[in-house]
């Protein structure tokens, strides 16, 4: 099952995919472009991986470490499918990151890699923007780079775990205005999903709604106001986002 | 939206937080006509937003870096607020045990003032910033001691129970000068650290203004203003108390993780 959260006709709704349309929890069938898409689940702790694809680490001149490079994000940064992301006027390098998002379904503490999938609710697509101009050498990547309002796009659907037979073999790609700029496969993760859940649950109890953004492969390029950025993962979804300038956000 | 008259209190078993009169100096709360000492009650964390910390916001903490601030890996002092997150698994209430991992001989006590947001704060002006504050609490930002601020593992700061918060949230109106609050840390009753929020590089209002320029803070979020230099350390078996004038006293015992897992309590 593919699940979404949407705003429609004055209220928030849970919805499921029904072919070319979606079915709201109350039974109404609506067109996908008639709703406002929200992040497909209510997030608790948002966990993100830096440099979890060997090629991207090389692209950023970084030698992969033995320990996963983890940082956290707040809920302020999330937006849904087909929304606008702000590019500040002073930014010179702002890039997308297409990532498989793994959503936890129940409390997980000291979970072995072999059991890790039992704790997963499902998967979705995330586009975790970074504005490299604001990178400082303290608590890298600092929240001013990675936790800005509108800079983490997530959705459209939360796909049930059992509907994804092999999440470690999914093609990822990003297009900017229709041109392919990033391509990869989840098989190239440095730390795979099971290892990440084992590692994290070894020191922190994960809970329902926690989400792990598993990192991005190489191929990040600067995006400009007006660009349509589509991050897509095979079998999970196609997440559309548009870059907007300060004026769209009441600034400048 | 959160609006507090006296203090937001959430005791074990309460379905939601209550607004009750407290005495921050005596560490008491008035419940049903009785005045009860905080240490005799079981406390829940009074809020449920996102908890953000601010790195190196005390003049002394930045000064303690010395020349290193201009050398690799840092290369320059921080230009804008450097924030981090203490996730939900780390939160515990007043009196709850802080688990000490087997491989950590001592933990670092990060004593700080927590600014509790009352309503959506986005791009707020410094001169109006305090209007967005519901109140103040005490936070113990516990860490496994580590040297580098460059890219520390979240293993050091985000273990279960590594963020005591409370006991309560004192209403903004009860704290006349958030930028002049004395702060003291005691380990087993011995005074180990003293500082004051007068030493903040970015005082509360300015910090809120600069942070909300790039990220929205929501009702129930907590922004920790920073941890002073020379953070004391404490071991399993010891008790840590943080006092902040006008806000209260937050005390928690440190207990070996394996003892907690075996059901032992202090």
The percentage of residues in chain A with a pLDDT greater than 90, rounded to a whole number, is 90
Hey, are the CB atoms on B214 and A149 less than 8 Å from each other?
yes
Helix (H) or strand (E) holding B85: strand B82-86
In degrees rounded to 5, what are phi and psi of residue A114?
-65, -25
Yes or no: say if A236 and A157 are a contact pair by the CB < 8 Å rule: yes
B248 has pLDDT over 90: yes
Hey, are the CB atoms on B80 and A72 less than 8 Å from each other?
no
SS3 B214: coil
- Spell out which residues of chain B touch residue A108, defining contact as CB-CB under 8 Å: none
Fold observed for domain A41-249 = Fumarylacetoacetate hydrolase; domain 2 (3.90.850)
Q: How far is B63 from chain A (nearest CA, A)?
A: 15
Hey, is the C-beta of B82 within 8 angstroms of any chain A C-beta? yes
Looking at the partner chain, which of B149, B214, B216 has a beta carbon nearest the beta carbon of A139? B149
DSSP structural state of residue B97: P
Predicted confidence band at B146 (pLDDT cuts at 50, 70, 90)? very high
Mean per-residue pLDDT, B167-181: 97
Mean per-residue pLDDT, B240-252: 98
Hey, is the C-beta of B154 within 8 angstroms of any chain A C-beta? yes
Whole-complex ipTM:
0.95
Q: Which one, of A242, A237, A241, lies nearest residue A22 by Cα?
A: A237
Helix (H) or strand (E) holding B117: strand B111-117
Task: Specify the CATH number for A1-38; select among 2.30.30.370, 3.40.50.20, 2.60.40.10, 2.60.40.1930.
Answer: 2.30.30.370
Domains of chain B: 7-261 (3.90.850.10)
Looking at the partner chain, which of A67, A76, A138 has a beta carbon nearest the beta carbon of B150? A138
Residues B191-236: pLDDT tens digits? 999 999 999 999 999 999 999 999 999 999 999 999 999 999 999 9
B38 has pLDDT over 90: yes
Hey, is the C-beta of B230 within 8 angstroms of any chain A C-beta? no
Mean per-residue pLDDT, B18-26: 97
Hey, are the CB atoms on B80 and A134 less than 8 Å from each other?
yes
Q: Which one, of A156, A155, A151, lies nearest residue A76 by Cα?
A: A151
Residues B103-128: pLDDT tens digits? 999 999 999 999 999 999 999 999 99
Mean pLDDT, 10 residues at a time, over chain A (252 residues)? Answer: 98 96 98 97 96 76 74 97 97 97 98 98 97 91 93 98 98 98 96 97 98 95 98 98 97 86
Which tokens go with A103?
């959503």
Chain A residues in contact with chain B using a Cβ-Cβ cutoff of 8 Å: 44-45, 67, 69-77, 109, 134, 136-140, 142-144, 147-149, 203-207
Hey, are the CB atoms on B80 and A207 less than 8 Å from each other?
no
In DSSP terms, A184 is beta-bridged to A172
Residues B86-102: pLDDT tens digits? 999 999 999 999 999 99
Hey, are the CB atoms on B55 and A71 less than 8 Å from each other?
no
Most distant pair of Cα atoms in chain B: their distance: 59
Hey, is the C-beta of B102 within 8 angstroms of any chain A C-beta? no
pLDDT of residue B87: 98
pLDDT of residue A54: 83
Q: How far is A67 from chain B (nearest CA, A)?
A: 8
Average pLDDT value over all residues in chain B: 96
Q: How many CA atoms lie within 13 A of A246 on its CB side?
A: 8
Beta pairing class for A46-50 and A211-213: parallel
Domain ranges, ordered by start, for chain A: 1-38, 41-249
Residues B42-84: pLDDT tens digits? 999 999 999 999 999 999 999 998 999 999 999 999 999 999 9
DSSP letters along A176-191, please?
ETTEEEEEEEGGGBSS
* A222 CB neighbour count, 10 Å cutoff: 14
DSSP structural state of residue B121: B
Yes or no: say if A3 and A16 are a contact pair by the CB < 8 Å rule: yes
Angle at B94 between CA B88 and CA B99, to 5 degrees: 60
Cα–Cα distances (Å) from B133 to B140, B245, B248, in that order, read 20, 18, 17
Looking at the partner chain, which of A136, A140, A207 has a beta carbon nearest the beta carbon of B79? A136
Whole-model pTM over 0.90: yes
In degrees rounded to 5, what are phi and psi of residue B158?
-115, 20
Hey, are the CB atoms on B154 and A206 less than 8 Å from each other?
no
Yes or no: say if A197 and A206 are a contact pair by the CB < 8 Å rule: yes
């Amino acid at each position: 099952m593919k699940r979404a959260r949407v705003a429609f006709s004055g209220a928030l709704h849970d919805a499921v995919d029904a072919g070319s349309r979606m079915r709201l929890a109350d039974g109404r069938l609506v067109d996908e472009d008639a709703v406002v898409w929200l992040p497909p689940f209510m997030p608790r702790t948002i966990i993100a991986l830096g440099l979890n694809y060997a090629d991207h680490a090389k692209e950023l001149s970084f030698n992969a470490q033995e320990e996963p490079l983890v940082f956290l994000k707040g809920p302020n940064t999330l937006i849904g499918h087909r929304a606008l992301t702000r590019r500040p006027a002073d930014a010179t390098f702002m890039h997308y990151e297409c990532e498989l998002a793994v959503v936890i379904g129940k409390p997980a503490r000291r979970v072995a890699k072999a059991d890790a999938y039992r704790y997963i609710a499902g998967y979705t697509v995330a586009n975790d923007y970074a504005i490299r101009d604001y990178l400082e050498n303290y608590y890298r990547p600092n929240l001013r780079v990675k936790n800005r309002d509108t800079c983490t796009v997530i959705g459209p659907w939360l796909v049930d775990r059992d509907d994804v037979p092999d999440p470690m073999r999914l093609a990822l790609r990003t297009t900017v205005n229709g041109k392919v700029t990033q391509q990869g496969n989840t098989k190239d993760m440095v730390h795979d999903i099971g290892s990440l859940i084992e590692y994290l649950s070894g020191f922190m109890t994960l809970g329902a709604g926690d989400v792990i953004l598993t990192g991005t492969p190489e191929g990040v390029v600067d995006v400009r106001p007006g660009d349509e950025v589509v991050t897509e993962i095979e079998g999970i979804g196609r997440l559309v986002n548009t870059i907007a300038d300060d004026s769209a956000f009441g600034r400048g | 939206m959160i609006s507090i008259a006296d203090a937001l209190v959430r005791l074990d078993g309460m379905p939601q937080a209550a607004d009750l009169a407290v005495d921050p100096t005596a560490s008491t709360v008035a419940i049903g006509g009785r005045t009860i000492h905080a240490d005799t009650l079981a406390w829940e964390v009074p809020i449920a937003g996102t908890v953000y910390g601010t790195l190196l916001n005390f003049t002394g903490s930045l000064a303690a870096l010395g020349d290193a601030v201009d050398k690799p890996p840092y290369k320059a002092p921080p230009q804008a607020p450097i924030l981090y997150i203490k996730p939900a698994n780390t939160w515990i209430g007043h009196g709850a045990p802080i688990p000490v991992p087997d491989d950590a001989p001592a933990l670092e006590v990060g004593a700080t003032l927590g600014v509790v947001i009352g309503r959506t704060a986005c791009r707020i002006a410094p001169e109006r910033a305090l209007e967005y504050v519901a109140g103040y609490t005490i936070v113990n930002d516990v860490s496994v001691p580590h040297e580098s601020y460059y890219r520390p593992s979240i293993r050091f700061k985000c273990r279960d129970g590594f963020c005591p918060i409370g006991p309560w949230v004192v209403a903004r109106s009860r704290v006349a000068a958030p930028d002049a609050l004395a702060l003291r840390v005691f380990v087993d009753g011995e005074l180990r650290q003293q500082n004051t929020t007068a030493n903040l590089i970015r005082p509360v209002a300015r910090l809120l203004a600069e942070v909300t320029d790039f990220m929205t803070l929501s009702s129930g979020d907590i922004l920790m203003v920073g941890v002073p230099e020379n953070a004391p350390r404490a071991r399993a078996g010891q008790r840590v108390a943080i006092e902040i004038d006008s806000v209260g006293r937050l005390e928690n015992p440190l207990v070996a993780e394996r003892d907690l897992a075996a059901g032992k309590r202090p």
